[in-house]
């Protein structure tokens, strides 16, 4: 009798909330969202040389919780940034110069991922949207950060801490690190390589932090590996289009669209729930 009652109570309990990974991973709607997001993000990467994780996350966040979306960018981001980090001919010199930024960033990413694990998903999506808006606005206006000069010795660790915390919390590696790297006065090829090194180290640290905070399920890792295919296809297409499209015009349109997408995510988190 008791066993029967226990069995009945168990069957009538409310089901636990589902995530994208609790469903069948190969559901067609999820595959389409992931493939389209990484195809477009790869296209942007091929055209302007950056933006793959940020664009992919911004698109994925319209359909998934940010906690579910962030693990999906790991494999495409690592794979595409390995080549960028190794190309440029200044790997040793750049690592020597950037390690005061990278080491604190890795520690801060662990801290930020801990916040990611504990904060509300809607709040995280809104914060990410605001970050995307800020980055796009700065890029559109052409704001330049002054060269750090003698302050670089203490400013690099500070920027690393801020950027690492933001990365761990939102999965985006670009702000404020890109502005800071641009201010270092590097040659164009070396700047691109420095970004690749920073993004590669940050992505690897993010993978470790997500795993340590139980935010990296095996299903997400596999789906992230699959997402590499449309990401690479998009990059190849973007590099072909770049030869025929004025880059300056595309960059402006891209950042305007990115600002609009960030505003949508922020409004959906902070405005719509209040209505």
pLDDT tens, residue order, the chain (275 aa): 444 444 443 444 444 345 555 555 567 888 899 999 999 999 888 877 777 888 899 899 888 888 889 999 999 999 988 988 988 889 999 999 999 999 999 999 999 999 999 988 888 888 999 988 988 888 888 888 888 989 999 999 999 999 999 999 998 888 888 889 989 989 888 988 999 999 999 999 999 999 999 999 888 889 999 999 999 999 889 888 877 777 677 778 788 888 898 898 899 888 865 55
Q: Positive or negative, the Cα torsion across 175, 179, 181, 182?
A: positive
Amino acid 230: pLDDT = 95
DSSP 49: S
Rounded to an integer, what distance in angstroms lies between the CA atom of residue 255 and that of residue 237? 19
Query: Other C-beta atoms within 10 Å of 235: how many?
Result: 24
Predicted TM-score (pTM) of the model is: 0.82
For 174, which DSSP code? -
Q: How many CB atoms lie within 10 A of CB 184?
A: 18
- Give the start-to-end residue ranges of the domains of the chain: 28-274
Look at residue 164 and give its three-state secondary structure.
Answer: helix
Cα torsion angle, 142, 104, 165, 95, sign: positive
């Amino acid at each position: 009798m008791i066993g029967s009652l226990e069995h009945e109570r168990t069957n009538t309990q409310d089901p636990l909330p589902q995530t994208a990974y609790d469903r069948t991973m190969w559901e067609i709607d999820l595959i389409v969202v992931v493939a389209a997001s990484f195809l477009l993000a790869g296209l942007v990467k091929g055209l302007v040389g950056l933006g793959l994780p940020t664009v992919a996350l911004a698109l994925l966040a319209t359909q998934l919780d940010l906690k579910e979306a962030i693990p999906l960018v790991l494999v495409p981001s690592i794979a595409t940034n390995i080549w960028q980090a190794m190309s440029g001919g200044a790997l040793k010199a750049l690592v020597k110069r950037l390690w005061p930024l990278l080491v604190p960033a890795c520690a801060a990413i662990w801290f930020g991922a801990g916040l990611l694990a504990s904060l509300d998903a809607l709040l995280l999506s809104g914060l990410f949207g605001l970050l995307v808006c800020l980055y796009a606005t700065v890029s559109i206006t052409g704001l330049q950060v002054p060269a750090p000069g003698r302050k670089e010795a203490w400013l690099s660790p500070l920027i690393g801490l801020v950027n690492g915390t933001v990365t761990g919390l939102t999965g985006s590696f670009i702000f404020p690190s890109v502005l800071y790297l641009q201010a270092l006065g590097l040659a164009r090829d070396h700047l691109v390589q420095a970004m690749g090194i920073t993004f590669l180290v940050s992505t690897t640290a993010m993978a470790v932090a997500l795993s340590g905070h139980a935010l990296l399920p095996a299903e997400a890792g596999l789906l992230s590996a699959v997402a590499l295919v449309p990401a690479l296809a998009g990059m190849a297409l973007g590099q072909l289009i770049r030869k025929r499209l004025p880059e300056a015009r595309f960059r402006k349109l891209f950042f305007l669209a990115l600002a609009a997408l960030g505003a949508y995510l922020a409004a959906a988190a902070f405005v719509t729930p209040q209505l």
